[in-house]
Amino acid sequence: MSAGLGVQVVVETDPEAEERLVEELFSAVLADIGADAEDHDVEDEDEDLEEDDERVVLAVAVARGDGKLLGWASLLGPDEDDPGPTVQWLLLSREIERIKTGMYDEHPATPEEVELLVAMTKAAADHAREAGHDAVVWSDPMADLDSHLADALGAEPDEELGHIWAFEDLAAAAAPAGLPAVRTQVATEPTENLPDGTDIITIDVVDTDAELSALIKGNRAMVEEISHHDTEPEIVAAAIHDLVAKIRELNPDVRTLRVHEYDDEVVEEAAELAGMTVAKQLHFYRLDL
């Protein structure tokens, strides 16, 4: 399939296709940073690309331009939690940036990225239809690619997954009246494996199981998950503001903080109590075939 602009998309059904593509990805990463393969352990850096389930990869739609890998879209077989086969994509340029910086690039989707995603997803969806499936689904909590793809293909939001909560102006973030006082302590985190220019701040709430870790790069801070077993939302909200204070103290250049919440009522209520706003609502999108 041709995607325009010299881009070709080919569907592969070889079970080892993804493994080969990951190896090609890391070769591109090493070339981009001018490093030697001997100085970098691909297996250590590959953890974020490993599947956390045992779903079958039905096919992989691979996009290349002038022979160079641009990205791929894997079609994962359905399971009891997902309403249809899932399309899971990777754009090489964004993944290289994530590996280099430790954070996903949340810049708005470009027309070229959307065109590439449309071509890969169409190819994966065609394979799903030919295999007898009546729909595919996808989500992308790290950027706005999912909604742009949905608009381009006529897909609809199918299931709410959660939210990304934000303080867009960290300097102006003030704890609302009525939040309880909490005692927190900074936990020591290993930093030797963090990319250059990336920092991490972790705080524990004393006498609770609540823990918050913020990954920091440049003027952005991101909390991918809040651990809070048996902790009240009010305590978590107060802890969010303790984390804000610690970020201001240790990383004064940080301007924004985002907290990812995945169908978690405690974190959702805590973010609201803390005065955060919804930067993005997370969905599965469904494309009927």
Contact between 15 and 75 under an 8 Å Cβ cutoff? The reply is: no
- What's the pLDDT at 39? 47
Fold match between 2-154 and 165-281?
A: yes
Tens-level pLDDT at each residue, the chain (289 residues): 555 557 899 999 988 888 899 888 888 877 766 654 444 444 454 454 554 456 789 999 999 998 899 999 999 987 766 667 999 999 998 888 877 777 776 677 889 999 999 999 999 999 999 999 999 999 876 668 888 999 999 999 888 889 999 999 999 999 999 999 999 999 876 666 677 778 899 999 999 999 999 999 889 999 989 999 889 999 999 999 999 999 999 999 999 999 999 999 999 999 999 999 999 889 889 999 9
Q: 3-class SS at 192?
A: coil
Does the pTM surpass 0.85? The reply is: no
* For the chain, domain boundaries: 2-154, 165-281
Torsion (CA) 27, 32, 36, 39 in degrees, nearest 10: -90
How far apart are the C-alpha atoms of 143 and 116, rounded to whole Å?
A: 15
165-281: which CATH architecture?
Answer: 3-Layer(aba) Sandwich (3.40)
Contact between 75 and 65 under an 8 Å Cβ cutoff? The reply is: no
Angle between helices 111-130 and 145-153 (to 10 degrees): 60
Q: Count of CB atoms within 10 A of residue 188's CB? A: 7
2-154: which CATH architecture?
Answer: 3-Layer(aba) Sandwich (3.40)
Q: What ranges in the chain are assigned the alpha helix state H? A: 17-33, 42-45, 92-101, 111-130, 145-153, 233-250, 265-274
